[in-house]
Amino acid sequence: DEKEKFEPTVFRDTIVQGLNEAGSDLEAIAKFLDATGSRLDYRRYADTLFDILVAGSMLAPGGTRIDDNDKTKMTSHCVFFAEEDHDAIRNYAQVRIIKG
């Protein structure tokens, strides 16, 4: 049995690139996440995925982002960068990830 490598930074780069390409359209973001779920292991990288969807990048212990201000490692399509109103936050919360 061969063990699969745990590579959260590769996962982060793939998700962030897709989110940035999807733009600010939450429907396009949901479609990207849905399509990507069939080839990426969301369970294995659940913490990384949560960090990206909420904070825009991976988080280190203590809550600082691990992106070195590199725009290719972070996205503004996340809860932290959403407009500060109830409807905007609810829309982000309703983005569904369905593993295909």
For position 2, what pLDDT does the model report?
61
Predicted TM-score (pTM) of the model is 0.82
Q: Phi/psi at 25 (nearest 5 deg)?
A: -75, 110
Q: Is the dihedral of CA 95, 46, 65, 74 positive or negative?
A: negative
Cβ neighbours around 97 below 10 Å, total: 12
What is the mean pLDDT, run by run of 10 residues, along the chain of 100 residues? 80 94 89 90 92 92 86 89 86 62
For position 45, what pLDDT does the model report?
93
Those residues with Cβ within 8 angstroms of residue 22's Cβ, 6 or more apart along the chain or in another chain = 28, 29, 31, 32, 77
> 16-40 burial, b if ≥16 CB within 10 A, otherwise e?
bebbeebeeebeebbebbeebeeeb
Answer whether 58's CB lies under 8 Å from 67's CB: yes
